Structure 1
Amino acid sequence: MEQITIKDIAKALQLSVSTVSRALKGSYKISESTQRLVRDYAEKHNYKPNLNAQGLKNKKSRCIGVALCSIPNSFFAEVISGIESVAYNKDYLVIVTQNFESCEREVRNLENLTWRSVDGLLISLSTETEDYSHFQQLHEQGLPLVFFDRVTDAVRTHQVVADNAGGAASVTRHLADNGYRRIAHITSSPHISITKERIAGYRQALEERGLPFREDYVKYCLHGGMLMEETAAALDELLQMTEPPDAIFTASDRLTMNCFTLLRQRGISIPGQMALAGFSNFNSPELLNPSLTTVKQPAFEMGKIAAELLIQLIESKREVKDFQRIVLPTELEVRASSGCF
C-alpha cells in the first residue's frame, strides 16, 4: 500500500506542510483541535514518518547496534526486551549481533554494524576479549558506546551492571548458613568484569562466615558454559578431589543449568549430596526437581537503562563528559536445591 506523506495530509486538510509537521510532533504552537484533526487523518490513512528522509536530514540512521554473546541465553533475552522497549518508543531500530564468546567474531560484528552506520552501540564483552582497541577506536571516532553487564574501564563511557559482588556474597552466605562448609565456585573467564566481581563477593562471604577461600575450589570455564564439556571438566575436577565440595555456587545462567544437568546425569542427589545455587534468569526455576536457588539479575531493567543512556548520548547536542556507572540490585531466591542439612 502506497504511503501518504506530510504533503498529502497538508493538501487534503488545506493546511501548510509546516503546520502538519508541527501538529504531528505535538508542538505547542498548534491548537489542540488542529493537532487532533491531523492525527486522526494520519492514523486513518496509515501515515508513517519517513525515517530514511529524517536520517538523511539529521545524518542519523536511527539504528542501534547490540553486541552480546548469545540470544538464547535467558539473561540476554530479557536484556534485549528491555532495549527494545526503549528503542521502539523512540523510533530506533535495534540490530542484535552474537559473538558466541569469540573476540574475533565480536570484532567482525562491530565492523558490520559500523558499515551499516548505526548511531550507537550497546556492548556486553565476549569472554575472550582482553584487547579493547577496537572499542577505543570507535569511541575516539565519536561513535556513542554504552557497556552493560560485562564492562571495561578502558573506554570512558556509561556502564550498567548488576551488583555482582553483592549477589555472590548473598548466595555464599546462604549456603554457609545452611551448614555447608566446602563451597566451590564454577565461573567464567577470569579476566572479565563479572567474574572478578563475583569471586570478590564469594570470597568476602566465606571470610565473614569463618570459612577458608581455596583456590582449588574455584574453576574457570573460559567460554562461560557455552561448551558443556568445559563445564563437565570443571565439575569432575571438583568431584574427584580428596576433599570434594558439599555445595557449588555457579556464576551464570548456562553454568547453573549445565551443573544441574550434569549432577543429575552422574546420579548425585541435589541437595542431599551436593547443594547447588547460582546466578540464573532461567524461566520458572521452581519447576525443576528440586527447585533451583538462584540469584536473579534485573536484566530487563539493565537493557532499558542502557538503551536510554545510549539514546541520550546519540541525541545530545553537546559533547558528554560526565559518565555514570549504574549498579542494579540482585535478588536471592531461595529454593530446594540449597536445602538445609
Structure 2
Amino acid sequence: MRENKDITIYDVAKALGLSPSTVSRALKNHPHISSATKKKILACASEMGYRHNKFASNLRQKRTNTIGVVVPKLKSYFMASVLSGIEKETSRNGYGLIITQSQESWEKEIVCINTLFNSSVDGLLVSLASDTENANHFKSFFNRGIPIVFFDRVMDCNGCVNVVIDNYKAGYELTSHLISRGCRKIMHLGGNMLRNVYYERFRGYRQALIDNNIEFDNKMLVVGDMSNKTGIDLVNSILKMKHRPDGIFTSNDTTGVTIILELQKAGIRVPDEIAVAGFNNEPVSQYVTPNLTTVDYPAREMGELAMKMLLNKLNDPQDQNLNTVILNHKLIIRQSSLKES
C-alpha cells in the first residue's frame, strides 16, 4: 500500500544527492546557488510534489506573514481604492490580509482589534471609526511591539505612523474657491469632529472665511453621518430658511451629489443660486449634472504608502523616521461651483 506523506527538502536532497541546506537555499532563490542548480532542484521538487510548509516556517520566524486592516466601512469607493493599494503591496511582498470593518462604531472597532490580535497578525493598518475617542484598545499591540500605521482617519500616539493629506489646506482652498466665485454665505457639512479629516476640513473652511472678512456663523455648520440621508436633510432645512446659503462645501462626494439632485428637485439652480463642492473625487462626482467640484484624494496611493510604511516598521522595528506622511491633494474645479462671480 502506498504511503501518502508530505515530501520534504530532505527527500528532494536525497533524490538529487545534494545537501538539504543547498536545496533549501535554492527553493528560497538564494543568490549563491547557481541558476542551473536552482532549475534542477525546482524541477525535481515539482515532480516529487514538494510543497513549502509555510505554517512551520512562520512558527520558526515567529511571524504569520499576515497584516490586519480595520476600516470604518467597506461600502465606500474611497476605502475600496485604499484597500486596492494595500493589497498590491501585500501581494508583492508575500503577505496575506485580514480585513475587518468597524461600521463607524468604536465598540465594534474594539472587537475588530481583539480579533486581529488573537489572529497573531504581524502588523496593523487602521482608519478609525467616527466615534473613537482614545487609543486604549490598541494597548495589546503597543505592549507587544506590533507596529501600527493609521491612515486617513488618524490619531497621535507614540511610535505610530500616520498617512494623511493636508485636510486643513484642502478645506481652505475649496472654501476660498467658492468665495472667489462670489459666495458669501457658505454652509459646511461635515462628519464627527472627533475625526481629524472632518475637523481639519472645518478649520480650513472657517479660516478661509475669516481671511476674506466673512464672519463665521455657527448655524452654517452642519454635522452628520455623511450619508445620502444627511444630504437630503440638509436641503430640506435649507428650503425652510428665510436667507438661504449661496454656497455649500460638503466633506464627501456622496452628499455633494445628493445635495445637487435635491436642490434641483426643489427648483433651485446649481450653481447660479447655490454653488456646491464636495470632497474625494469619486466617479459619482462626474455622473451628476452639473459635474461636482471636489478635491482629488489619492486613495490608492495612500493604501500603497501605508503598507510600505508598515513593512519598514516590520523590517526595522527601531526605525523612528517619519511619524506623519502627508500626500498631495488637488482641487478639481467643475461646473457645480462656477457661478457668475
Distance 1:182 1:11, change over 3 A: farther
CA distance in 2, matches of 1:74, 1:299: 9
Find the aligned partners of 1:327 and 1:41 in 2 and give their Cα distance: 49
For 2:329 and 2:6, locate their aligned partners in 1 and report how far apart those are by CA, in whole Å: 47
Q: How far apart, CA to CA, are the structure 2 residues paired with 1:200 and 1:40? A: 62
5-14 vs 150-159, greater mean Cα deviation: 5-14
Indicate conservation of the 8 Å contact 2:117/2:140, yes or no: no
Match of 1:95 in 2: 98
In structure 1, the partner of 2:325 is 326
Query: Match for residue 24 of structure 2?
Result: 21
Q: Give the residue type in structure 1 aligned to 2:82.
A: V
Q: Secondary structure at the match of 1:139?
A: helix
2:58 corresponds to 1:55 = yes
Farther-moved stretch of structure 1 (21-30 vs 110-119): 21-30
User: Could you say which residue in structure 1 is the equivalent of 2:286?
Assistant: 286
8 Å contact kept, 2:230–2:255? no
**2:270 aligned partner:** 270
The equivalent of 1:123 in structure 2 is 126
Amino acid across the alignment from 1:109: C
What is the TM-score when the length of structure 2 is the normalising length?
Answer: 0.88
Partner Cα separation in structure 2 for residue 179 and residue 3 of structure 1: 74
Displacement of 1:214 after TM fit?
2.1
TM-score in terms of structure 1 length: 0.88
Q: Is 2:231–2:256's contact at 8 Å kept on the other side of the alignment?
A: no
* Distance in 1 between residues matched to 2:88 and 2:267, nearest whole Å: 43
- Taking a change above 3 Å as real, the CA distance of residues 273 and 27 of structure 1, as seen in their structure-2 partners, is same
2:229 paired residue number: 229
Distance of 2:291 and 2:178 partners within structure 1:
15
1:245 offset after TM fit, Å?
0.9
Distance 1:150 1:176, change over 3 A: same
The question of whether the paired residues in 1 share the 8 Å contact of 2:298 and 2:329 is answered with yes
The alpha-carbon distance between structure 1 residues 280 and 116, as it changes in their structure 2 partners (threshold 3 A), is same
1:248-303 CA deviation, whole Å, 9 max, x = no partner?
11112443344344334444332233211111242253232221111111111111
- Correspondence 1:160-175 to 2 at 5 A: 160-175=163-178
Q: How far apart in 2 are the matches of 1:282 and 1:44?
A: 49
**Distance verdict in 2 for CA 1:9–1:168, change over 3 Å:** farther
Q: Extract unaligned runs of 5+ from structure 2.
A: none
- Looking at structure 2, the residues matched to 47 and 120 of structure 1 have their Cα atoms a distance apart, in angstroms, of 30
* Aligned pairs for 1:1-341 within 5 A: 6-7=9-10, 9-39=12-42, 49-221=52-224, 223=225, 225-226=226-227, 228-283=228-283, 285-316=285-316, 318-341=317-340
Output the CA distance in 2 between the equivalents of 1:29 and 1:129: 51
How big is the shift at 1:230?
3.7
| Secondary structure of 2:283's aligned partner | coil
1:251 to 1:89, Cα distance in 2 relative to 1, 3 A: same
Q: CA deviation at 1:29?
A: 1.7
**Using the alignment, how far apart are the partners of 2:183 and 2:46 within structure 1?**
63
1:98 positional shift: 1.0
Greater mean deviation of Cα atoms: 99-108 or 278-287: 278-287
Structure (1 or 2) with the larger CA radius of gyration? 2
Report the aligned-residue RMSD.
2.5
Identity over aligned residues, as a percent?
Answer: 36
Following TM superposition, by how much is the alpha carbon of 1:339 offset from its aligned partner in structure 2, in angstroms?
A: 1.8
Contact 1:293 1:333 in 2 (8 A): yes
**Contact 1:51–1:62 (8 Å) recurs in 2:** no
Task: Kindly indicate whether the alpha-carbon contact (under 8 Å) linking 1:69 and 1:101 is maintained by their aligned counterparts in 2.
Answer: yes
Q: 2-side partners of 1:239 and 1:168: how far apart?
A: 25
Q: Is the 8 A contact 1:239 1:245 kept in 2?
A: no
Question: Structure 2: which amino acid aligns with 1:308?
Answer: K
Find the aligned partners of 2:153 and 2:142 in 1 and give their Cα distance: 17
Structure 1 gaps of 5+ residues are none
Post-superposition offset of 1:111: 1.3
In structure 1, C-alpha distance between the alignment counterparts of 2:6 and 2:200, rounded to whole Å: 52
Q: 1:84 to 1:7 in 2, by over 3 A?
A: farther
Counterpart Cα distance in 1 of 2:165 and 2:218: 25
Q: Secondary structure at the match of 2:248?
A: strand
Given residue 69 of structure 2, which amino acid in structure 1 is its aligned partner?
V
Following TM superposition, by how much is the alpha carbon of 1:231 offset from its aligned partner in structure 2, in angstroms?
Answer: 3.8
Size of the alignment, in residue pairs? 336
Moved more, 75-84 or 283-292: 283-292
* C-alpha distance in structure 2 between counterparts of 1:283 and 1:292, whole Å: 10
Relative to structure 1, is the Cα distance of residues 90 and 48 closer, same or farther in structure 2, using a 3 angstrom cutoff? farther
- Range moving further from structure 2, 178-187 or 255-264: 255-264
